[in-house]
Amino acid sequence: MHIITLAEDTAGRRDLLAEHGLSFLVEVDGLKILFDTGQSTTVVHNASILGVDLSTIDKIVLSHGHFDHTGGLRQLLKVMRKEVEVIAHPDIWDAKYVQRPGEESYSYIGLPFQKDDLEGLGASFTLTDKPVWITDRILTTGELNMLIDYEEIDSNLCVKKGGTFTPDPVRDDMALVINIGQGLVVVSGCAHRGIINTLCQAQRLTGVEIIDTVIGGMHLFRATEEQVELTIAGLKEFGIQKLGACHCTGFRASVRLAEEFGDVFFRSSAGTLLELP
């Protein structure tokens, strides 16, 4: 099993592009699954540099509908030149906005394309709030249950409906889970609904208690010091052997994770290759 980071906020090589966004190529059981598509053309560029043939991708999974995870989809489909299943939550099509600190106006941060346009380029959408079993050991979490009291949705995230802005519960937030026998691998986009909630759901769906590997965004860049420490304590309960933080985890939280997890921790920049049994 291989996981290649195709797009992220930082790049591990000078010939690769970095952008605020995320994309992983997961290769397992003869399948190639692209998890998120970055913000722009970075996935296409970096894939070319890394020798990844995008036309061989079997499925695309979108973690949620924000532009930094979906903005590369149109260019990707144009390069792939074939029909491909895109698995996502129906709420990816919500009109998503953010009200940034110090600003009175709202900024659009949703999926930047129309559904029919993407379908015309080969996207075949499977939209459901339920888990999708891709194989008997690969699945999406579906809509995540909010059970951990210290994990909350950002209050400045909104959805526009009928000209009115209302809080966005980010119900479309989900992760990819792979059972590798020795435990679970969980690939996270932003974990808007909480990384601990995400891991707990992976356990419930699979019946597997051990979380071997966690890689992706953990949305701690705005978290309080208390929340970061509670998250660290929560992560330690899973027996994680590899912890790859990136994107919206944030620098401060990543430093604390590195301090606490030592050699288990790694920074997953664009170009990072993670090999698993």
pLDDT tens digits, residue range 9-46? Answer: 999 999 999 999 999 999 999 999 999 999 999 999 99
For the chain, the distance separating the N- and C-terminal CA atoms, rounded to the nearest angstrom, is 6
| The pLDDT of residue 102 | 82
pLDDT tens digits, residue range 236-255? Answer: 999 999 999 999 999 999 99
Average pLDDT, the chain: 97
Closest CA to 130 of 87, 160, 75: 87
pLDDT tens digits, residue range 159-209? Answer: 999 999 999 999 999 999 999 999 999 999 999 999 999 999 999 999 999
pTM above 0.95, yes or no: yes
* Alpha-carbon dihedral sign for residues 220, 223, 226, 230: negative
* Alpha-carbon dihedral sign for residues 30, 120, 66, 196: negative
Give the number of other Cβ atoms within 10 Å of residue 119's Cβ. 14
Q: Please state which architecture CATH assigns to domain 2-275.
A: 4-Layer Sandwich (3.60)
pLDDT tens digits, residue range 131-167? Answer: 999 999 999 999 999 999 999 999 999 999 999 999 9
Closest CA to 19 of 101, 83, 93, 75: 75
